[in-house]
Chain A
Amino acid sequence: MPLFYILLRTGQNGVGEWWELVTTARTARLAGTSFALAVVVTAGCLLLGVGSAYLVTRTDVPFRRAFAVLAALPLAVPSYVAAYTWVSVADLWSSTARFEGFWPAVAVLILYTYPYVYLPVAAAFAGADAAQEEVARSLGRGTWRTLATVTLPQVRPAIAGGGLLAILYILSDFGAVSILRVDTFTRAIFTAFSAGFDRATALSLSTVLVLLTVLVLLLEGRTRRRGARYESGGASHGTNVVGLGRGRWWAAGGLAAVAVLALGVPALSMVRWMTAGTSRADSWGQLLGAAAGSLTVSLAGALLTMVLALPIGILAARHPGRLSALTERAAYVAHSLPGVVVGLSLVFLGVTVLLPLYQTTWLLAFAYATLFLPLGVAAVSGAAAQAPPALEEVGTSLGRSPAQVFRTVTLPLTLPGIGAGAALVFLTCMKELPATLMLRPTGLDTLATELWQATSYQRYAEAAPYAFLLVLLAAVPTWALVRRSGVVGGAPPAKQARTLKEELLTHD
């Protein structure tokens, strides 16, 4: 719906005017930056993600279990928190050096986006059928030839999926690029909006961004059709482990370096600023206020999202086919809509159509629902699959009425999954930044907005407690994701591997 609204508004302004706004040198520069950033970062993510996934699942690298968890953890650091900690660490170093611009942004985004590739690829490596590799070896292929000709093609869908997630994430990222002062579409849209409500420019830029994401989606759709994977039936037995010899310590060193950079820097920075914290008493009160604000809007968002997700999810689970396929596609599209664009469109919607709702928590909740509905739908349909119709049929055949069967069979089986989905939506809402900035009622502060404001005035000490709380909160769904991916512990059941992608979609 927000997408529709943007198109409508752009159409009202006239195509000619839109074309004029879009074909400026500035737009070209923005497009160039956004595109270059997306390409460079995605390449880096693929390299880092696939490499570390291979190391922790298929080699005898030391401490592989610990590294398997560590490699996924950067996902728990929201990009703007990451950017803030890096900038502020640079500040500790020397007050003149500025950590900002294109290449710092590339470094930060790679470090915190590569888990989008790492998690699905590691899950695919762990779940891939070892028998195919054994056949390749028995036909005379060496370790590296087997890897290149059998194993990598096996996990290619996971690599493509992870790469898509990464590229969409980078295109829609707002927090990190803003803090690191890189001019991309998202930042320009927000600036146009906040500096004088320049609707025409903001809208036109949004359409270009949407076009860019649709282009990426179309390209991915083409590779996906060819990327079909033949899965041999039956349970795959364990995976083969490659001995790295002395190289294993180098590999461990590399993994450790990534972990130190991605996790150590934020930790160091937060600890330094927390201890150097200024005006304690005041910040405590503010912190509590922001936490309360976060709780309120996230609760509203989670509630609305789950109410909308319940019927769609159950329908998707019970009547698979075109609808469920459509839902999966919608998940991509909804995710590819950057929070900035959704926020913007709802601002205009609020001003023009839903004036009574404008500046209320509910409009913000609606934005959250638009952004995170796929997450809720995935949770609900996954939960509904826990109670297949066959169970309900048996229940009624034993003489219990449909209402009784629902209470004694369906509800106990689906409630945990739906609850977990609601918790995930709740935590994701808490971390959301751009839509919150645009739509929050005046006077309402959340952890994310307070952090953003503090960093925009370079008051890093003030920002530290918010950042700390946010990372703590974000760690919860991340841990759930890592557990479900099957990278730690046994191989994942086939069904969960699919929902992993859907969960990753809305996890940022």
Chain B
Amino acid sequence: MTDVEINHVGKFFGTLRALSGVDLSMRSGEFLAVLGPSGCGKTTLLRCVAGFEQIDEGRIALGGRLVALPGVHVPPHRRHVAVVPQEGALFPHLDVAGNVAYGLGRGRRDRAARVEQCLELVGLGGYGRRMPHELSGGQRQRVAVARALAPRPPLVLLDEPFSALDAALRSELRRDVRRALREDGATAILVTHDQAEALSMADRVAVMNGGRIRQVGTPAEVYRHPADVWVAGFVGEAVIVPLDGEAPGGRHTSPLGPLTLRDDDRPWDGPMAAVVRPEQVLMTHRRTPQAGRGVPAVVRRVDYHGHDTLVAFELADGTEAMSRMVDGPLVDYRPGDRVFVLVDGAVAAVPVGETVTRPVPSPR
């Protein structure tokens, strides 16, 4: 069953185009992440779905019910869409239980039970009597999620809910929230500018830029088969290598050495470029038999991250590229080292044209 249907939605702020021709559809129970840089229109899209903003073009249907057309606007409280805002926005005058119970009808007999159940779901069982100011930032976000889940809304919208938290807390909270949403069977849209968050949490990712959706797909699809050069550069790091060849598939020569393109059915029209991910670039100190076809390069910069290392290098013709390697005893590179590099495995090809990355100021 299709739960969320967004067709050709457009939105203007004065003469500024914030959204144009946005198309999205979601199954019931699906978790979709809308990923994009700040000001790309992702929060505006979320606010249009929630009903805080009116749309100027297209239509939005939730659960088969039309909620928004130009000039037709179902108010937020009739949409059954719960929102988890950026800073949590807990009601400061209500305790945790009061916050979670806010969306539950007063007559419900299982009210207290549902509140406790939702708090358990986010790992805060027994916190009902606390006041919001007595909670840490992460706990507040957990309560905000529980509050959104309590009335069992068909759709939950999360607006960068983890951006204000520190890294360690963030990954733990991401896991817990994802599990809570899943256990409750909620359909959810997460808006974020953090590609790691989008890729690790969502079933599908919609990449947005300049008020348009550039690509929708599973996290692996978006990362391995980016739709264009912009998506390739925004989702993860990439070395873009222009291709001269005419034919799809097969082998191509490049400054990085021979490249094998993935077999995909993308039509080959106009100039294309290869997307080489840093982890596909192998690096050795010596020309080993395995890396026999390696291309000589000079190390320029080494970023050590602990679990892995990103080494930037320069090829003979001046091309700059990067290699990422898992940490180990053999990883010992310094700027100035002479090395050999080799691209391992097939790489994606993307069309070079159509890079409309018009920035649109954020409405807030």
Contact B91 A409 (CB under 8 A): yes
Known: A402-B75, A402-B77. A397 touches B83 (CB 8 A): yes
Give the residue name and chain of the B residue nearest to A393 (CB).
B52
Contacts A390-B85, A393-B85, A394-B83; A399 near B151 (Cβ below 8 A): yes
Identity of the chain B residue whose Cβ is nearest the Cβ of A397 in the assembled complex: B83
- Which of A399, A402, A405, A408 lies in contact with B80, CB distance below 8 A? A399
Residues of A within 8 A of B50 (CB): 393, 397
- Residues B39-85 near A (CB distance < 8 A): 50-52, 75-83, 85
Interface residues of B in 298-343 (CB under 8 A from A): none
B92 partner, pick from A396, A398, A413, beta carbons under 8 A: A413
CA gap between A200 and B302 in the complex, in Å = 83
Is B358 interfacial (CB 8 A cutoff)?
Answer: no
Given A393-B76, A394-B85, do A400 and B103 touch, yes or no (CB 8 Å)?
Answer: yes
A396 to B89, Cβ gap below 8 A? no
With a cutoff of 8 Å between Cβ atoms, the chain B residues found around residue A408 in the complex are 102
A428 to B89, CA, bound (A): 35
Partner of A398, one of B87, B93, B151: B151
Q: Return B157 CB to nearest CB of chain A, in Å.
A: 8
CA distance A397 to B76 in the complex (A): 5
Q: B140 near A: Cβ within 8 Å?
A: no
Residues in chain B near residue A402, CB distance under 8 A: 75, 77
Q: Does B212 contact A (CB under 8 A)?
A: no
Report Cα–Cα, A394/B85, bound state, in Å. Answer: 8
A398 and B103 contacting across the interface, CB-CB below 8 Å: yes
Number of A-B contacts (CB under 8 A): 60
Which B residues are CB-close (under 8 A) to A409? Answer: 91
Task: List the A residue with the shortest CB-CB distance to B77.
Answer: A396
Out of A398, A401, A405, A412, which one reaches B147, CB within 8 Å? A398
Are the C-beta atoms of A396 and B76 separated by less than 8 Å? yes
Residue A353 is within 8 A (CB to CB) of chain B in the complex: no
Chain B contacts of A390 at CB under 8 A? 85, 87, 89
A253 at the binding interface (Cβ < 8 Å):
no
Nearest B-chain residue to A394, judged by Cβ: B89
Interface membership of A289, Cβ < 8 A:
no
Residue A492 CB within 8 A of the other chain: no
Query: CA separation between A401 and B79, bound complex, in Å?
Result: 11
Does A395 lie at the interface of the complex (its beta carbon under 8 Å from any beta carbon of B)?
yes
The smallest C-beta distance from B65 to any residue of chain A, in angstroms, reads 15
B:78-122 near A, CB below 8 Å: 78-83, 85, 87, 89, 91-93, 102-103
Docked Cα-Cα span, A391 to B103, in Å, equals 13
Q: How far is the CA of A394 from the CA of B82 in the complex (A)?
A: 7
Contacts of A395 in B (CB 8 A): 91, 102
Q: List 21 A-B contacts (CB under 8 A).
A: A388-B89, A393-B50, A393-B83, A393-B85, A394-B91, A396-B75, A396-B76, A397-B50, A397-B76, A397-B79, A397-B83, A398-B82, A399-B77, A399-B103, A399-B151, A401-B77, A408-B102, A409-B91, A413-B91, A413-B92, A413-B93
Q: Which residues of B contact A (CB under 8 A)?
A: 50-52, 75-83, 85, 87, 89, 91-93, 102-103, 147-148, 151, 153, 157
- Which 5 A-B pairs rank lowest in CB-CB distance, beginning with the nearest? A398-B103, A396-B76, A397-B83, A396-B77, A390-B89
